[in-house]
């Protein structure tokens, strides 16, 4: 089980979109604790009646069960006036948060899980890329990732090589930047913010910040939901459901460099929620 010292309890976590006045009370769960969210937004713990701190960012309500040591990370692109900021979640998954984050960082599954959209056989090769931890150790950054994609986004015309950058600024949140087909000098941003309801039960909040003047909100949401809907059965069929941090528990390859760094980073930060810690 989790320990009280787990940094996860001091992190901010997404719980839902801000409820509109008169929308009633949303009952959900965060890190095993039942919570209620009302307009305001206001969050109340149903177990002890306390009102934990709240903030609103990226079109979501965030709260914490502990004492946040720092502000929630930033995604500066989200504030650029010409971007379309949209949420395409939440989607419930019977999996742990770290399994979902690792899947979000993974390129090699594109041809097999997102067939003919984000990848297609036989173009399966993952070229070497760079992974580093930011100077203050607060996030993991993967750069120089590229992959051949038949239909990278709604704005993409046909198959092409697509460049990716990944950020993991929070144990249960990741942000990706990928080639933008409307403006080659900029990148589209897609983020996954995981609400861990229980260790093996999550809601994935998907947020996009795109440069696209053509497609409707519904079309853009459907595209993201289709992609995540293809990941969901994979995530629900991973065993163990919690991410094993022992390096010998599974078989990493060069293509998993970002996943390897993520597992090490979770170990180094002593995260215990949603993982199987390595035995020392």
Partner 1 sequence: MNHMSPPPPLSPVWHPIAASTDLAVRHVFHGKLLGRELAVWRADDGHVNVWDNRCLHRGVRLSIGMNDGAELKCQYHGWRYASRSAGCTYIPAHPANSPSRQVTNRVFPTIERCGLIWAALEPDQPFIGLPQADWFAAREAIVHAPAALVLNTLAAEAVPRSLAWLSPYAMRLARRAAPDETLIILAQPADGATTIIRALRAGAPADANAWLRRINRVFVTLRDQIEAASPAGEAAAEPDFTPVAAELAEPAPAATAGLTVTVARKWQVAADVFALKLKPLAGTLPAFQPGAHIDVTLPSGQVRQYSLTGGPGENEFWTIGVRRMPQSRGGSRQIAEQVREGDLLSVSAPRHNFPLRRDALRSVLIAGGIGLTPLLAMAKALRHGGHPFELHVFSRDAAHLPFADTLRGFGDNVRLHLGSDPVQTRETVAHLLGPHGFAQHVYVCGAPGLIDAVTRTADHLGWPDEAVHYEHFSNDREINASSSFTVALARSALDVEIPAGCSMLAAIRAAGVSLPSSCERGACGTCVVKVLEGVPDHQDVYLNAREKAAGRSVVTCVSRATSQRLVLDL
Q: List contacts with partner 1 (CB under 8 A).
A: 102, 107-109, 111-113, 121-126, 233-234, 237-240, 244, 250-255
Residue 254: strand, helix, or coil: helix
CA 268 to chain centre: 20
155 token code pair: 């704005």
Least Å distance, CB 180 to partner 1, is 24
Q: Closest approach of Cβ 108 to partner 1, in Å? A: 4
Minimum CB distance to partner 1 smaller for 138 or for 238: 238
CB of 241 to partner 1, least distance (A): 9
Contact (Cβ atoms closer than 8 angstroms) between residue 280 and residue 154: no
Q: Is residue 200 helix, strand or coil? A: coil
CB 204 within 8 A of CB 90: yes
Q: Tokens for 273, please give them.
A: 């929620």
CB of 197 to partner 1, least distance (A): 20
Instruction: Please state, in angstroms and rounded to a whole number, the distance separating the CA atoms of residues 57 and 136.
Output: 23
Give long-range contacts, CB 8 A cutoff, 24+ apart: 244-252: 244/275, 244/276, 244/278, 245/275, 245/276, 245/277, 245/278, 246/276, 246/278, 246/279, 247/278, 249/276
For residue 208, the minimal CB distance to partner 1 (Å) is: 24
In the complex with partner 1, the residue whose CB is nearer, 33 or 234, is: 234
For residue 112, CA distances in Å to 78, 187, 234 come to: 31, 25, 11
Q: Which is nearer to partner 1, 117 or 220 (CB)?
A: 117
Phi, psi of 250 (to 5 degrees): -135, -175
Q: Which of 10, 200 has the CB closer to partner 1?
A: 200
Q: What is the spatial distance between Cα 103 and Cα 259, in angstroms, rounded to a whole number?
A: 8
Q: How many residues does the chain have?
A: 280
- The residue (of 134 and 237) whose beta carbon lies closer to partner 1 is 237
13/99 with CB nearer partner 1: 99
Q: How far is the CB of 255 from partner 1 (least distance, A)?
A: 4
Closer by beta carbon to partner 1, 253 or else 268:
253
Closest approach of Cβ 119 to partner 1, in Å?
A: 10
- For strands 60-63 and 275-276, give the pairing: unpaired
């Amino acid at each position: 089980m989790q320990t009280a010292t787990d940094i996860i309890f001091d992190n901010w976590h997404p719980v839902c979109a801000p409820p509109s006045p008169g929308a009633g009370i949303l009952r959900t769960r965060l890190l095993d604790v039942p919570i209620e969210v009302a307009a305001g937004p206001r969050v109340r713990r149903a177990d002890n009646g306390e009102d934990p701190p709240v903030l609103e960012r990226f079109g979501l309500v965030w709260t914490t069960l502990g004492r946040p040591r720092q502000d929630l990370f930033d995604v500066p692109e989200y504030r650029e006036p010409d971007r379309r900021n949209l949420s395409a979640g939440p989607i419930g998954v019977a999996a742990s948060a770290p399994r979902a984050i690792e899947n979000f960082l993974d390129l090699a599954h594109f041809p097999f899980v997102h067939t003919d959209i984000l990848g297609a056989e036989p173009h399966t090769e993952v070229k070497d890329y760079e992974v580093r931890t930011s100077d203050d150790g607060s996030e993991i950054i993967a750069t120089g990732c590229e992959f051949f994609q038949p239909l990278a986004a709604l704005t993409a015309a046909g198959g092409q090589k697509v460049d990716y950058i990944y950020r993991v600024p929070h144990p249960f949140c990741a942000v990706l930047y990928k080639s933008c087909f409307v403006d080659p000098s900029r990148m589209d941003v897609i983020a996954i913010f995981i609400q861990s309801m229980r260790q093996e039960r999550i809601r994935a909040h998907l947020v996009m910040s795109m440069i696209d003047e053509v497609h409707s909100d519904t079309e853009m949401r459907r595209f993201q939901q289709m992609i995540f809907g293809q990941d969901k059965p994979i995530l629900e069929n991973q065993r163990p459901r919690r991410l094993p941090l022992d390096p010998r528990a599974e078989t990493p390859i060069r293509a998993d460099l970002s996943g390897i760094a993520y597992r090490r980073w979770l170990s180094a930060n002593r995260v215990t929620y949603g993982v199987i810690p390595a035995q020392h």
